[in-house]
Amino acid sequence: MGSVVLKSLSILLGLFFIFVGILKISCYLSKDLHRDMRKEYVKYAKVFPFSQMFGIKIPAKWYRKLIGCSEIICGIALAFIPKVFIKQMANIILIIMMMLSVYSHYMISDRFERIAPALVFLFMLVGRMVIEWQIRRQSFETNAEIKTHKQD
């Protein structure tokens, strides 16, 4: 049961991040949403944590494209690549990006309605990670029990 949930969650999250990443780097899917993303990333680039800590200014266009490409790559990894380690790394990268998104929305004083989607997907990614850990732990315990019974 757990692996069905994990596979479904991985595919759905992967497809979502591919979709959102494409919206950020291209106007192919929706010109209006792409235009809104461009406007918003001008604000996000100003509150990027490394720009405040180290005085590094990152152009909004590069920031948006970097985030969009990262979302597409991680989404492809979650949805289509069978290697568990690669899926875990993509999951961790997306969790960090969602935390950065929540931080950015908070720093520009967005309403909760604008922060909520990032929070929801952050929790979904964390939930996916927990489910994967539980499945691996359960598999490990089952293998340990089998070895114990063989030794008896």
pLDDT in tens, 78-126: 999 989 899 999 999 999 999 999 998 998 888 888 899 999 999 999 9
Global confidence as pTM? 0.85
- Say how many Å lie between the first and final Cα of the chain, rounded: 30
Question: Confidence class of residue 1 from pLDDT cuts 50, 70 and 90?
Answer: very low
Condensed to tens digits (0 to 9), the pLDDT of residues 21-75 reads 998 998 888 888 888 888 888 888 888 877 767 777 888 889 899 999 999 999 9
The span from the CA of 47 to the CA of 107, in Å, is 7
What residue numbers bound the domain in which 109 lies? 2-151
Q: Where are the alpha helices (DSSP H) in 26-111?
A: 31-46, 49-54, 60-80, 84-107
Domain tally for the chain? Answer: 1
Query: Is the Cβ–Cβ distance between 79 and 9 less than 8 Å?
Result: no
